[in-house]
Amino acid sequence: MSTARTRGLVGAALGAVVSLTAAAVVLARRGGEAPVWGLLLLGLSLSMLTLVLAMRPARGESAAREGHRRDVGALTVAAAHVATENELRALVDSARVLMWLADVDGRRTHVNSSWLEFTGRALEDELGNGWMAGVHPEDARGLASGRDFAGRSQAYESEYRLRRFDGEHRWMLERGEPRVGPDGVRLGFVGSCVDVTERKLREASLHEERAQLERKVEQRTEELARANAELAAAARLKDEFLANVSHELRTPLTAILGLTESLLEPSSPPVSDKQRQSLRTIEESGQHLLALINELLDLARIEAGQMRIESQPDVPVERVCQGSLRFVKEAAQKKHVSLSFKTDPSAVVLECDERRLKQALVNLLGNAVKFTPEGGAVGLEVAGDRAENVLRFTVWDTGIGIRKEAMGQLFRPFVQVDGSLTRRHGGTGLGLALSRRMVELQGGRILAGSEPGKGSRFTIVLPWRAGSGSRTAAPVSAAPPIDVEPGEACRLLLVEDNVDLAEMLGDHLRGAGHQVLLARSGADGLAAALRERPDVIVMDVEMPEMDGLEVIRRIRAEPGLEHTPILALTALAMPGDRERCLAAGATDYLSKPLNLKSLSAWVGRGRRTP
Ligand SMILES: Nc1ncnc2c1ncn2[C@@H]1O[C@H](COP(=O)(O)OP(=O)(O)OP(=O)(O)O)[C@@H](O)[C@H]1O
Ligand SMILES: [Mg+2]
C-alpha cells in the first residue's frame, strides 16, 4: 500500500475518532440532540470520504482528482452548516485537506494541521492576513481584499499559488463557503484548498500547444496570402503575355492572310493551278493558326472570368446543328467517314449563345471525325427532354474510343489521351476543355462515354428554356460583323507602323480605288490628319511612342475632325478593346487579322457617314 493511501487510512480513522469525540463533548455540554446527530453524521461521512479517497485505485489519476475536488467541495459546504465555532474547528482539524476558517473580512481565524504541514509554518504566522505571505506575489494582487470579502455572501472559488514547506509554489483551488448563524447573521467563511498544480500544468501545456497551432495557422495564412498575391501577379503577367503574343502573331497573320486573299482575287494577275493550290494551303494554315490563337485567348478569358455569354432566345436548333456539321463535312468526306444527323421534331428552338454552342459542337464533331478511321461513321443526334427541361446534343462515332483510365482527364486543357495517336491526328488538347467551359457557362454540362475500339459518345446537356428572354451581357467580340457593301472611292489616311502590313493594306485599298495617304507613326498620323483632312482614317492602335488611341483623342479634339470616320485596328483582341477604342473616339473597331472585304466595305460606308 502506498504511503499516501496509508496516510489516508490513518486520517480516516483519526477523522472518525475526532468527530465522534467532538460529538461526545458537545453532547455532554449542551444536552441538545439535533446538532449532535448532525455532527455525528458529518464526522462519519468525513471519515468515509477520507477512506474512499485513500482506497481509490491509482488508475484514472485525473478522474480521481476531479472526484476528490468535488468531495472536498461537498465537505466545505457541509462544514459551513455546522453550528458552533468549536464544532467547526474540530471538523476542520480532522480533515486531510487544507482547510481554514475566516471572519467576515476574510481574515484567517484558524487553519488546520494539513495546512500547517503543507506550508511548514506556525499557526500564528498564518492567522489574520499572515497566510498571504505564502501566496505567490503575482497571484496576491488578484485575491479578494478584506472589503471584497465583507460584501461576499456567496460561495466562491479562486486559484492561486501557495508556497509549500520546500519553497515550491503549488497551484491551489480554494473554495470558500459563507457561514451564516441561525439568526441570519454572517459569521465568516470556511474554506478548503486542493492542490491542482498538475491540472494547471496540463492546461498551460495545452495553451502553449494551442498558441503554437495558432502561430502555425497564422504563418500558413500569411504564406497563402503571399502565394495568392504571387498567383495574381502571375495571372496578370499571363494576361499581358497572352495579349502580347496575340498581337505579335496576329500582325504577321494579317499580312499572310491579307496577301493570300488579294492574290486569289479574280482582279489579281492570273496564277497557275499549282500556285493557286499553294496559296490555298497558305490561307488554310493561316486560318488554322488563327483558330489556335483564338482558342488560347478563349481559354485565357475563361480562366480570367472574362468570357461572357451572349444568350439569344429562340435559336433554331436545326440551324446550329447544320452549321456545325458543315464545318466537318469536308474532313469527313476526305476520310470517307459518313456523317448523319437525327433531330427531335419537338426541339425547334432553344435559348443559348449560338456561337459558343456551335463552337462546342464543332469541337466534338471535329474530334469524332479525327478519331474515326476511314470508312467509319459519325453522327449528331438531338433529343428534347421535357421532363427534365433539357436538350441533349449527342455526337457519336465508331472510332478508336478512349481507355477508361483516361476518361477523367479528357476535359483538362492541353491533355491528349494518347500522345502517339494524337500526334498522328494533330491538335493541342484544348477543344474539350473549352467546349466544357462554354457549355457550363450556359448552365449545361458535357457527358462522355466510350469503349475502346468501338467508339465514343459525347453529350452536351443544355437547359431547355425555349422562348425565354435574352440575358445578354455586353458583347466582347473580336470582330464585329460588318456588312459587305460595295465601296466608294475616298481620300483615306492609313496610320500603320508595320511596314509589310502598311504596304499590303495600302495596295489593297488603292486597288479598291481609294486614294491612300500613309503615315508610319502616331505623330506622323496626327500631323497628316490635321494637314490633309482625309475623308476616312484607318488607325492602328498598337504603335510605339504615341499609340493609336492617343492619336484618335487628339484628332477628335481638333475642330472640323470631330466626325471624321475613324476605324481602329488592333491585334490585341482582348476583352475591353472595343470599349477602349470607342471611348477614345473611334467610330468602329476591327481586330487583326482583317478580312480585306470587310475593310473595303467599312471604308466605303464610312465615306457615306456624315
Ligand atoms: N471522339 C473521340 N474519340 C477518341 N478520342 C477522343 C475523342 N474525343 C477526344 N478524344 C481524346 O481526348 C483528347 C482531348 O480532346 P481535345 O478535343 O481536348 O483535344 P484535341 O482534339 O487533341 O486538340 P484540339 O481540340 O485542341 O485541336 C484527344 O487528344 C483524344 O485523345
Ligand atoms: Mg479536339
Query: What are 480-502's pLDDT values in tens digits?
Result: 333 334 456 788 999 998 888 88
Find out whether 462 and 439 touch, Cβ atoms under 8 Å.
Answer: yes
Residues 320, 457 share a domain: yes
Of 326-335, 463-472, 552-561, the one with minimum mean pLDDT is 463-472
Which one is predicted more confidently, 262 or 476?
262
Q: Which residue has the cell 459519325?
A: 378
pLDDT at 470: 34
410 within ligand 1 shell (Cβ under 6 A): yes
pLDDT at 418: 64
pLDDT at 580: 87
Residues 498, 378 share a domain: no
519 within ligand 1 shell (Cβ under 6 A): no
What is the residue-averaged pLDDT of the chain?
A: 80
Of 26-40, 439-453, 517-531, the one with minimum mean pLDDT is 26-40
Domain of 159, CATH number, reads 3.30.450.20
Residues 102, 156 share a domain: yes
> What would the 3-class secondary structure string for 3-58 be?
HHHHHHHHHHHHHHHHHHHHHHHHHHHHCCCHHHHHHHHHHHHHHHHHHHHHHCCC
Task: Please give the average per-residue pLDDT across 12-41, as a whole number.
Answer: 48
Q: What is the spatial distance between Cα 252 and Cα 289, in angstroms, rounded to a whole number? A: 11
pLDDT at 346: 87
Task: Please give the average per-residue pLDDT across 139-161, as a whole number.
Answer: 77
Residues 107, 21 share a domain: yes
Task: Please give the average per-residue pLDDT across 379-401, as a whole number.
Answer: 93
Whether 161 maps to a domain, the answer reads: yes
For Cα atoms 458, 461, 465, give the angle at the middle one, nearest 5 degrees. 155
Number of domains within the chain: 3
pLDDT at 221: 95
Domain of 538, CATH number, reads 3.40.50.2300
Residues 458, 328 share a domain: yes
Whether 473 maps to a domain, the answer reads: no
Q: What is the spatial distance between Cα 242 and Cα 298, in angstroms, rounded to a whole number? A: 11
158 within ligand 1 shell (Cβ under 6 A): no
Residues 39, 165 share a domain: yes
pLDDT at 142: 78
Last residue of a domain, one of 195, 216, 235: 195
371 within ligand 1 shell (Cβ under 6 A): yes
Whether 233 maps to a domain, the answer reads: no
Residues 600, 499 share a domain: yes
Residues 442, 325 share a domain: yes
Residues 436, 542 share a domain: no
Task: Please give the average per-residue pLDDT across 270-280, as a whole number.
Answer: 88
Ligand 1 atom with least separation from CA of 295:
26
Residues 498, 450 share a domain: no
pLDDT tens readout for residues 497-555 = 888 888 888 888 888 888 899 999 999 999 999 998 998 999 998 888 889 999 999 99
Q: Cis ω on the peptide bond leading into residue 593 (within 30° of 0)? A: yes
Whether 350 maps to a domain, the answer reads: yes
Report the residue among 407, 416, 428, 454 best suited for mutation to probe ligand 1: largest number of ligand atoms under 8 A from its CB. Answer: 416
pLDDT tens readout for residues 43-79 = 554 544 444 444 444 444 455 566 666 777 777 776 6
Task: Please give the average per-residue pLDDT across 106-124, as a whole number.
Answer: 94
pTM of the model: 0.48
pLDDT tens readout for residues 328-342 = 998 999 999 999 999
Per the document, the length of the chain is 610
Whether 156 maps to a domain, the answer reads: yes
Whether 412 maps to a domain, the answer reads: yes
Ligand 1 atom with least separation from CA of 415:
14
Last residue of a domain, one of 175, 195, 215: 195
Neighbours of ion ligand 2 (CB under 5 A): 367, 427, 431
Which one is predicted more confidently, 298 or 532?
532
Whether 571 maps to a domain, the answer reads: yes
449 within ligand 1 shell (Cβ under 6 A): no
Spacing, Cα 371 to ligand 2 middle (Å): 9
Domain of 388, CATH number, reads 3.30.565.10
Whether 123 maps to a domain, the answer reads: yes
Residues 28, 84 share a domain: yes
428 within ligand 1 shell (Cβ under 6 A): yes
Cα separations (Å) of 327 from 72, 296, 324, 333, 344?
90, 20, 5, 11, 21
Domain extent, residue 560, equals: 491-608
Last residue of a domain, one of 156, 177, 195: 195
Residues 496, 447 share a domain: no
